[in-house]
Amino acid sequence: GAVVSQHPSRVICKSGTSVKIECRSLDFQATTMFWYRQFPKQSLMLMATSNEGSKATYEQGVEKDKFLINHASLTLSTLTVTSAHPEDSSFYICSATGTSGVDTQYFGPGTRLTVL
Amino acid sequence: GEDVEQSLFLSVREGDSSVINCTYTDSSSTYLYWYKQEPGAGLQLLTYIFSNMDMKQDQRLTVLLNKKDKHLSLRIADTQTGDSAIYFCAESIAGNMLTFGGGTRLMVKP
């Protein structure tokens, strides 16, 4: 149980276009979803936290107009990278927590974004 | 603020034990975690430990927590080549938000 999927797994786009990444909890209801970005030196950075039906909370330094997060249902959150630039190329990972009461996050497989 | 630190790299021979260390600064951590990331993949939760425990064992994995020193370790017994990956420790306090260490790359030599 506790499977989180992401789609697409890999995307290449042109500079200036927008890209949407989906994160789904397949077998549980995710009250909270998180979006991380992984930089080349392997460290993970939390970008934002989203709770179903409310606006996402962005970490300091993350542009909320550039990284649009929507958590419309208990099983789906989307991250849209608007007007992507090469410096946005990265590995984006989502995670979700359910209602089990344990502070355990279940991670998606990640999406590799390459902006040309 | 929270700070979680790990050494960057560890190399062991197949069959030996691996010990990956992690230190953290926030004494109000409620849970501490170990995640594994294989090349090109997302993070996989290996194990977690409550902050009121000092040891947890799960098959080849042993987690030791020294709360006084704010030191967490992951021991992998009989390390195999399939254990080669990046290992992240993480802590959480209230609200489920995780703070990750920088990751330790484990290389297992045949």
What letter does residue A75 receive in the DSSP assignment? T
B34 in contact with A, Cβ within 8 Å: no
The per-residue pLDDT string of chain A (116 residues; one tens digit each, 9 = 90 and over) reads 678 899 999 999 999 999 999 999 998 888 888 899 987 655 678 899 888 888 898 988 999 999 999 988 889 999 999 999 999 999 899 988 876 555 567 888 889 999 99
Among the partner-chain residues A42, A46, A93, the one whose CB lies closest to the CB of B86 is A42
Residue B94 has pLDDT above 80, yes or no: no
* Average per-residue pLDDT for chain B: 88
Report the range of poorest mean pLDDT among A41-50, B6-15, B69-78, B94-103. Answer: B94-103
Indicate yes or no: CB of A6 within 8 angstroms of CB of B42: yes
Please write the tens of the pLDDT for every residue from A36-67.
Answer: 998 765 567 889 988 888 889 898 899 999 99
- Mutate one of B2, B32, B37, B47 to test the A interface: name it (highest A CB count within 10 A): B37
In chain B, the residue whose alpha carbon lies closest to the alpha carbon of A110 is: B42
Indicate yes or no: CB of B88 within 8 angstroms of CB of A34: no
Please write the tens of the pLDDT for every residue from B23-41.
Answer: 998 878 778 889 998 876 6
Residues of chain A in contact with residue B40, where contact means CB-CB under 8 angstroms, are 112
HEC per residue, chain B: CCCEEECCEEEEECCCCEEEEEEECCCCCCEEEEEEECCCCCEEEEEEEECCCCEEEECCEEEEEECCCCEEEEEECCCCHHHCEEEEEEEECHHHCEEECCCEEEEEEC
Position with higher pLDDT, A60 vs B84 = B84
In chain B, the residue whose alpha carbon lies closest to the alpha carbon of A109 is: B42
In chain A, the residue whose alpha carbon lies closest to the alpha carbon of B93 is: A103
Averaged pLDDT, B2-10 = 87
Cβ atoms A31, A49 nearer than 8 A: no
Number of CB pairs < 8 Å for A and B? 49
- Do β-strands B18-24 and B71-76 pair in parallel, antiparallel, or remain unpaired? antiparallel
Q: What is the per-residue pLDDT for A45?
A: 81
Q: How confident is the model at residue B16 (pLDDT cuts 50, 70, 90)?
A: very high
Q: How confident is the model at residue B95 (pLDDT cuts 50, 70, 90)?
A: very low
Indicate yes or no: CB of A42 within 8 angstroms of CB of B30: no
